[in-house]
């Protein structure tokens, strides 16, 4: 239902949420691997994710076949084991039914732990793993595991909008073992439209600072239109009759007009939910429009991944640079939502081939480089946190985010090297969104 929507539930608690490994921190260090494609640039070494193993492992096991999932298995480090290899594999039965097998292996390939199956995936056939991230989910100082994977949808369960659904798996490190956080998994699914690591991070950040991992609040304000209205709204927005501002007005009217309570006001949370739905609507449209064109689909996924990295890094930069505060999270939620539409427009423009406009593109590229130089030269004041320390130096975290921003921008420039109208359209927005607020 929503994208990035849960990020505004507990506004008052956010001023002290800047710890880099705390679940409250909106920090792109968590984005170790997300929708890896042939056209994306890998994250810098700060992710602690070592060389990605791209070779598929096929191992006969009775009649079933086990295939390592390329791009989602890699070297990392956990507190209890040190340097290990995280392996994501698909077990395919003779019937074609597939399950996800996750494990941690030692340097010599010995099995250290096989991860338990999450209850939410029972009876579902795996399509693929879309993202893996290592971060401290429960705030105990140990890195946990977040896995997002696509499974076949169940029409009988009301999952009729797409052929596949994304299901999160959360594993908490408990010494030399990982355990499933089933309560958090359930709440993430209930929140709806949790399809990226950014969505999970926003949900985690929305919780009370001292809440247990399974006690995340589920968003859902009185302004939320029902599913039938949301579907109709999405189809109307995608009809081609509205530009960007018109679509925002359309959604705003639907949300503000869905509650007749005289005492109700359109809250920050409601607005985040609205932009989340808007973005989800057009991300779905992009997937549908590129379903039969593998080249364009791969390209669109690469662009979306690069933009996501850029927005995630920029939101963290804003947070540290401005000394914390919830407004940066709200802005990040809404920006992420509207880029769902902008990437859809980019993709539609790519389908209508146009010539190169080198001068315009190069001018925008220079603006982006100037933005990067500006942020790279800044120092940040200590940020007040709820860790018991008070004000903490976040310059190292800030510097990491600037490097992540550079990686995202240069990845996007590689993907848009055609310098066509679609590329200019997208870079024009990003050049504006990377400046200082």
Highest mean pLDDT: which range of 80-84, 139-143, 226-230, 407-411:
407-411
**Do 104 and 155 belong together in one domain?**
yes
pLDDT for the residue 390? 64
pLDDT for the residue 5? 32
Residue 331, domain member (yes or no) = yes
**Do 179 and 290 belong together in one domain?**
no
Q: Tell whether the model's pLDDT for residue 326 goes beyond 80.
A: no
Which carries the bigger pLDDT value, residue 321 or residue 21? 321
Q: Tell me: the pLDDT tens digits for 67-122?
A: 998 778 888 888 888 889 999 999 999 889 999 999 999 877 888 899 988 888 88
**Do 254 and 296 belong together in one domain?**
yes
Residue 7, domain member (yes or no) = no
**Do 240 and 325 belong together in one domain?**
yes
Highest mean pLDDT: which range of 40-54, 172-186, 208-222, 388-402:
172-186
Q: What angle do CA 36, 37, 41 make, to 5 degrees?
A: 75
Produce one character per residue of 75-84: b if its CB has 16 or more CB atoms within 10 Å, e if not.
bbebebeeeb
Residue 317, domain member (yes or no) = yes
Residue that finishes a domain, picked among 215, 243, 269: 215
Residue with tokens 């449209």: 285
Residue 12, domain member (yes or no) = no
Q: Where are the beta strands (DSSP E) in 24-177?
A: 33-34, 58-61, 64-68, 74-78, 82-92, 98-105, 111-114, 126-135, 144-152, 164-173
Of 152-161, 236-245, 358-367, minimum mean pLDDT range? 152-161
Sign of CA dihedral 425, 429, 434, 436: positive
Q: What is the residue range of 26's domain?
A: 17-215
Q: Tell me: the pLDDT tens digits for 362-409?
A: 999 999 999 999 999 899 888 766 545 567 788 998 999 999 999 999
**Do 191 and 245 belong together in one domain?**
no
| Furthest CA-CA distance within the chain | 66
**Do 268 and 187 belong together in one domain?**
no
Which carries the bigger pLDDT value, residue 275 or residue 46? 275
Of 106-115, 152-161, 256-265, 275-284, minimum mean pLDDT range? 256-265
Short-list 301, 290, 285, 307, CA closest to 240: 285
**Do 188 and 260 belong together in one domain?**
no
Confidence of residue 207 (pLDDT cuts 50, 70, 90): low
pLDDT for the residue 336? 87
3-state SS, residue 430: helix
pLDDT for the residue 159? 55
Contact 141, 123 (CB under 8 A): no
- Domain count for the chain: 2
Residue 6, domain member (yes or no) = no
pLDDT for the residue 241? 87
Contact 417, 355 (CB under 8 A): no
Residue that finishes a domain, picked among 177, 194, 215: 215
**Do 231 and 211 belong together in one domain?**
no
Q: What percent of the chain has pLDDT over 70?
A: 74
Residue 233, domain member (yes or no) = yes
pLDDT for the residue 8? 32
Residue 9, domain member (yes or no) = no
Contact 400, 416 (CB under 8 A): no
**Do 356 and 377 belong together in one domain?**
yes
**Do 58 and 135 belong together in one domain?**
yes
Residue that finishes a domain, picked among 165, 182, 215: 215
**Do 189 and 247 belong together in one domain?**
no
Q: How many CA atoms lie within 13 A of 151 on its CB side?
A: 22
Mean pLDDT over the full length of the chain: 76
Residues 6+ apart with CB under 8 A from 228: none
Contact 28, 312 (CB under 8 A): yes
3-state SS, residue 254: helix
**Do 66 and 181 belong together in one domain?**
yes
Confidence of residue 229 (pLDDT cuts 50, 70, 90): confident
Which carries the bigger pLDDT value, residue 163 or residue 149? 149
Residue 384, domain member (yes or no) = yes
Q: Tell whether the model's pLDDT for residue 184 goes beyond 70.
A: yes
Which carries the bigger pLDDT value, residue 192 or residue 35? 192
């Amino acid at each position: 239902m929503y994208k990035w929507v849960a990020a505004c539930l507990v506004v008052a608690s956010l001023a002290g949420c800047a710890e880099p490994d705390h679940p409250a921190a909106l920090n792109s260090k968590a984005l170790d691997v997300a929708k890896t494609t042939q056209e994306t640039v890998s994250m810098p070494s700060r992710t602690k994710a070592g060389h990605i193993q791209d070779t598929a492992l096929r191992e006969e096991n009775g009649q079933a076949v086990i295939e390592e999932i390329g791009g989602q298995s890699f070297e990392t480090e956990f507190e209890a084991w040190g340097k290990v290899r995280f392996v994501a594999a698909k077990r395919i039965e003779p019937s074609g039914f597939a399950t996800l097998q996750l494990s941690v292996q030692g340097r010599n390939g010995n099995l250290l732990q096989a991860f338990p199956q999450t209850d939410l995936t029972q009876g579902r056939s795996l399509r693929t793993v879309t993202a893996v991230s290592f971060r401290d989910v429960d705030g105990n100082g140990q890195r946990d595991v977040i896995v997002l994977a696509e499974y076949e949808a169940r029409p009988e369960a009301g999952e009729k909008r797409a052929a596949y659904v994304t299901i999160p798996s959360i594993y908490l490190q408990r010494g030399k073992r990982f355990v499933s956080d089933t309560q958090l998994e359930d709440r993430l699914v209930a929140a709806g439209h949790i399809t990226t690591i950014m969505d999970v991070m926003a949900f985690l950040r929305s919780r009370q600072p001292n809440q247990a991992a399974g006690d995340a609040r589920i968003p859902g304000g009185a302004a939320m239109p029902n599913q039938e209205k949301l579907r109709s709204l999405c189809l109307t927005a995608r009809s081609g009759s509205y530009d960007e501002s018109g679509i925002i007005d359309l959604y705003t009217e639907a949300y503000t007009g869905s509650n007749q309570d005289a005492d109700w006001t359109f809250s920050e949370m409601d607005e985040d939910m609205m932009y989340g739905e808007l973005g989800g609507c057009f991300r779905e449209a992009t997937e549908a429009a590129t379903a039969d064109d593998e080249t364009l689909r791969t390209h669109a996924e690469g662009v979306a991944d690069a933009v996501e990295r850029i927005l995630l890094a920029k939101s963290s930069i804003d947070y540290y640079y401005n000394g914390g505060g919830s407004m940066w999270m709200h802005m990040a939620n809404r920006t992420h939502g509207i880029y769902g539409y902008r990437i859809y427009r980019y993709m539609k423009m790519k389908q209508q081939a146009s010539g190169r406009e080198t001068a315009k593109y190069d001018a925008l590229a220079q603006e982006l480089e100037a933005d990067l130089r500006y942020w790279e030269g800044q120092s940040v004041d200590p940020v007040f946190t709820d860790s018991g320390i008070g004000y903490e130096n976040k310059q190292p975290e800030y510097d990491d985010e600037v490097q992540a921003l550079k990686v995202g921008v240069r990845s996007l420039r590689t993907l848009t090297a055609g310098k066509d109208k679609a590329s200019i359209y997208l870079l024009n927005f990003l050049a504006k969104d990377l400046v200082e607020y």
